[in-house]
Amino acid sequence: MSQINKSAAQLLAPIVSNKKVGQYHQIIINVGDLANLCKPGNFVAINVGGDSSSMILRRAFAISRVSVNSTFGGTMEIIAAPHGQGSKWLCAQGEGVVLDIVAPLGTAFGIPTEPVSVLLVGGGYGSAPLFGLAEVLNARSCRVDMLLGASTASKIYAPMEGKRAVNSMRIYTEDGSMGQVGRVTDPIAEIIKDLDIAVVYSCGPMAMLSAITKITDSLSVVHQCAVEEAMACGIGVCMTCVLPVENEDGTVSMLRSCIDGPVMDGSKVQWSLVGKQL
């Protein structure tokens, strides 16, 4: 067995900036050389609430982007939604506040060795890590097209600069308040055929990932998805964030989404068994 999380380190890292972007916060953290080790798909686990907090568990965030030669040294960007007590605390922290972080954790998106066409699908702020991924894919001369979806316009995360690395970006909202009315899954089958897509990358709610798998399973296309499960530790010791995943021999195991994920092969995840006793 290979070493688990072999690039991971725990460090005290200051916030460089915290900007509100729509309903979300874009938080940039100075992580020094650690930025070199972060790959699209990896996540960071952050202590919340300060020393006397009653919140004892870290919060996991996808690393949406890294910059290795910014004016601050290496930096990491995360996109946070102030939903729970922990993320609200984090979103309220300003420049200079030092965070206790553990990163990079988990699996990364696999990058094709050939310049193929790929489709990136993001739901809500699950789109955040896809922009960093798009830049990497673009640098490999892949054709990158993107689909973003949410229930309503304010839940779409699509920074202006994010569009630079993609060939096209289409937005879907269920209430029609932005882009086209409908779900992000509506046009996928057609796009895969029209653009001869080799890999679909996705990040967002589990229902969306499951729906994409239904489409990709019937087509000859790889589906790499970044899953979201409640985690206590983020480093593989607590066994709480498990998902049913098919093994090579056809049996199903409960794999940890923190170390065997968050990026998983969508066709192997047994979506119908999520939340069920095996």
Partner 1 sequence: MTSLDFSTTIGNTWFPAPTFTASGCASSGRELAQFFPLREMGGVVTKSVMSKVRTGRATPRMAETPSGMLNSIGLQGPGIDAFIAKDIPYLLEQKARIIVSIAGETVEEYSTLARKLRSVSGISAIEVNISCPNVENRGLVFACDPEASRRVIDGVRRTIGGELPIIAKLSPDVTDLVSIARGVVDAGADGLALINTVLGMVINVDTMRPHLGGKTGGLSGPAIRPIAVRAVYQVHAALPQVPILGMGGVASGKDALEMILAGASGVSIGTASFGNPTAIMKIQSELKQLLIDRGFTSLKQAIGYAHRPEAEQDND
Contact positions vs partner 1 (CB under 8 A)? 1, 3-6, 8, 10, 47, 54-58, 100, 102, 229-233, 235-243, 252-254, 259, 274-278
In whole angstroms, the minimum distance from the beta carbon of 26 to partner 1 comes to: 25
Select 167 or 240, whichever has its Cβ closest to partner 1.
Answer: 240
CB of 55 vs partner 1, minimal distance in Å: 7
Closest CA to 40 of 116, 120, 115, 97: 120
C-alpha closest to that of 129 among 210, 53, 41, 213: 41
CB of 222 to partner 1, least distance (A): 26
Whole-angstrom CA distances from 115 to 62, 140, 210, 219, 264 are 25, 6, 27, 20, 21
Q: Which is nearer to partner 1, 51 or 161 (CB)?
A: 51
**Exposure of 255 in the CB half-sphere (CA atoms within 13 A):** 24
- If the CB atoms of residues 136 and 232 are measured against partner 1, the closer one turns out to be 232
Amino acid type, 74: G
94 CB burial (10 A radius; 0-12, 13-18, 19+)? exposed
Decide whether 198 or 243 has the Cβ nearer to partner 1.
243
Using CA atoms of 184, 185, 189, 193 in order, give the dihedral in degrees to the nearest 10.
20
Between 160 and 230, name the residue whose CB sits nearer to partner 1. Answer: 230
In the complex, the smallest distance separating the C-beta of residue 38 from partner 1, rounded to whole angstroms, is 15
DSSP assignment of 12-80: EEEEEEEEEETTEEEEEEE-GGGGGG--TT-EEEE--S-TT-S--S-EEEEEEEEEEEETTEEEEEEEE
Q: How far is the CB of 4 from partner 1 (least distance, A)?
A: 5
Of 103 and 165, which CB lies nearer to partner 1 in the complex structure? 103
Q: How far is the CB of 6 from partner 1 (least distance, A)?
A: 7
C-beta separation of 108 from 55 below 8 A: no
Of 246, 242, 195, 192, the closest CA to residue 219 belongs to 192
Q: Which is nearer to partner 1, 3 or 220 (CB)?
A: 3
